[in-house]
Amino acid sequence: MKSLGKHLIIELFQCDSTLLNDVKTLEHHLLAAVQLSGATVIQPFFHQFSPHGITGVVVVAESHFALHTWPEYGYCALDIFTCGDTVNGHTALDYLKENLGAANASVMEIKRGVLDLPQSEIRHKPDQDAA
């Protein structure tokens, strides 16, 4: 059976607390991770909380990349959800682990939209293979 998408649910521990509270740096790193993965950026949005913490999402043509930070704990939660087979979420994850200074990580991978259909009938975008 083929799935429509792959969802990486990631926890990064013992990250650099200063980085986790720097909205410009996080936006730079998440956009760089998206680019390295091969995904197509539609729109980024980031919000800084007071007194600390950031939520950011990059909507991509293939779904989304999102992060939520708790600098006071050195913790970052990440979601990398993509459809199709062209995006490499693990490349993005490796980049983010290194650039956020994570000492430890936990990763769960979930297949989304597992359908009992022949491979030839699975389409990730409405216009794909329309011919």
Catalytic residues: 63, 68, 83
Task: Report the amino acid identity of residue 103.
Answer: A
Instruction: Indicate the burial class of 124 (C-beta count within 10 angstroms; 0-12, 13-18, 19 or more).
Output: middle
Cα(72)–Cα(123) distance, integer angstroms: 43
User: Alpha carbon of 9 to those of 66, 106, 110: distances in Å?
Assistant: 10, 8, 8
Contacts of 24 (CB under 8 A, 6+ apart): none
Task: Report the amino acid identity of residue 118.
Answer: P
Cα(48)–Cα(59) distance, integer angstroms: 18
